[in-house]
Homo-oligomer: A and B are copies of this chain.
């Protein structure tokens, strides 16, 4: 009936799933901030690097697909990462519309430092691996539902 349990007459924002997701996201951002300072990148920039460590040499669009972001967000972010020397942006030859994003040596090397960062965050989460994976899966399903609904509208 509502985003909160349906019967709540008195509204408590803590019972809203959307708020739980919203505030957990901010909390992640805050936990990542400190360890990422050593790398010199922001949390969204770090996510872009993670995506590229998984699949390098992709177009802006493909990257946006992986991250659920559009070029209006990615273009300036990628320009900052390029200015810092983590990656390069080059027009594709086969299709001049596309811009191919590729890690530099520095960008690949950062993967090593990232281990420490992720160890930090894993400790902060403090969840055993199975529950960790289950929660991740449930959120992925939630996102899929929401995206389906947003596309239908």
Contact = CB atoms under 8 A, between A and B. Distances in A.
Q: How many subunits of this chain does the assembly comprise? A: 2
Rank and list the top 8 A-B pairs by shortest CB-CB distance, nearest first. Answer: A124-B149, A27-B146, A20-B139, A2-B118, A25-B25, A11-B54, A3-B118, A24-B143
Interface stretch (A45-53, A77-85, A87-95, A96-104): A45-53
Interface of A: 1-6, 10-28, 30-32, 34, 47, 50-51, 53-54, 66-69, 111, 115, 118-119, 121-127, 129, 132-133, 135-136, 138-140, 142-143, 145-150, 153
A29 to B, nearest CB: 8
Contacts of A147: 27, 30
B132 A5 contact: yes
A127 to B, nearest CB: 7
B28 A136 contact: no
